[in-house]
Structure 1
Amino acid sequence: MTALATQTVHRLNNGDTFPDFRAELVGGGTLNLPADVAGSWSIVLFYRGDWCPFCRTQLSDFQKHIEQFAALNTRVVALSVDALSEAQNTVSKHNLSFPVAYGIDAQATAAAVGNYLSDGSDGKPTYSQATGFVLSPDGKVAVALYSSSAVGRLNAADTLGLLKYMQAAHA
């Protein structure tokens, strides 16, 4: 195991305030979390990269349900270590209408939100493993889902059901 795989990090728990996080967006501008999603429920998806078929499936799944999320006052954002060209390819190929950030620093991200990192055994530069958060309108973590590999991530149907349940409970 490499040092990256054994690094101790703090993972976010339900009720924790999501840390301030900044990343550049495909199409220009900057994503500032949690400020840019304050006042609405939100889904924050850290994905491994354009090369990952599981990530592409997840992002496409959320895009297919984007109107249902909007009806629940829920915003979706996605972030990866990808270079701008790779992130643009992901957005274009899957017609993503939600904000997609690129060029995040994997180790800084792990320090901030506690996601697992690749161990380099696949020959790729270090990247963030799939990690998903549902944030309440006040920027607190309602759900944190950490994966240590390609599988084990939020999907749109389960997330929609959970949002409906949580919003009814907070009504």
Structure 2
Amino acid sequence: MKKLFVMITACLIWAGSAAAQDMPGLQVGDLAPDFTANDFRGEKFTLSDHYDEGPVILVFYRGGWCPYCNKHLQSLQARMEDFEKFGARLVAVSVDTVEKAAEPVKGHNLTFDVISNPEGDIIKAYGLSFKVPVEIREKYKEYGIDLKAASGRDDGLIAVPATYIIEEGKIIFAYADEDYTKRATPEQILAALEERQAGQQPMLLQ
């Protein structure tokens, strides 16, 4: 597993070395594109249906095959009670199929919404599209990772990892990085929720 972890990290750094330094995706102040998609149970989930419940923490991850993503999802699960104190709902999106999206939910006992979007339209709407180069996809297969089997896509499309806090359809916190070893931590998310509650503008992290 450690060897796999190191290999995936090395591939990412190689693939993203020429990426722009500016934070990808939507920014604080932008309207959050609404969407309807299947969750890991195959049930329809519409983002805007939950705006009146409180802030939505929207997390984009690469897929259940990614060890960094699984580690991040577990760290978020560990702070669910803290998020809920602010009335926040956590939603995670990837291009995994419904069946694949269910695997980390069951494997890590996740209690938040995990959304399947193999069509990729949600990550495109948020400006988070990333295509894994063919040579890296082939390297992944040597370690038992088949991106096509995970999403049903043959173009290597996945999401740039990102976290947004959405308030009534507007983005009030944003974090995205093409280096997927870097994620918004639960502590950073909670700090943004505290600032929101205090009437301050949460900061954009880069």
Bucket of the pairwise TM-score, normalised by the shorter protein = 0.7 to 0.9
Name the SS of the counterpart of 1:127 in structure 2. Answer: strand
Q: Taking structure 1 as the reference length, what is the TM-score of the superposition?
A: 0.85
Match in the other structure for 1:141? 171
SS of the residue corresponding to residue 13 of structure 1 reads: coil
The aligned counterpart of 1:60 is 74
Relative to structure 1, the CA distance from residue 149 to residue 118 in structure 2 (aligned partners, 3 Å threshold; closer, same or farther) is farther
Q: How has the CA–CA distance of structure 1 residues 37 and 30 changed in structure 2, closer, same or farther, with 3 Å as cutoff?
A: farther
RMSD: 2.1
Q: Is 1:158 aligned with 2:188?
A: yes
Name the counterpart of 1:94.
Answer: 108
**Paired-residue identity, %:** 28
Task: Give, in whole Å, the separation in 1 of the partners of 2:99 and 2:43.
Answer: 16
| Residue pair 1:23, 1:104 contacting (<8 A) in 2 also | no
- Structure 1 stretches of 5 or more lacking a match? none
Q: Which has the higher helix share?
A: 2
Structure 1 residue 14, shift from structure 2 partner: 1.2
Question: Distance in 1 between the 2:90 and 2:100 partners?
Answer: 19
**Amino acid corresponding to residue 124 of structure 2 in structure 1:** A
Aligned match of 1:126: 157
Are the counterparts in 1 of residues 95 and 117 from structure 2 also a CA contact under 8 Å?
yes
Q: How many residues align?
A: 162
- What are the Cα deviations for residues 15-59 of structure 1, in whole angstroms up to 9, with x where unaligned? 221111121011232121233333401110111001111111111
Work out the CA distance in 2 between the residues paired with 1:35 and 1:115: 23
Which ranges in structure 2 are unaligned for 5 or more consecutive residues? Answer: 1-14, 138-146, 148-155, 201-206
Aligned-pair CA distance for 1:81: 0.7
1:146 is aligned with what amino acid?
Answer: A
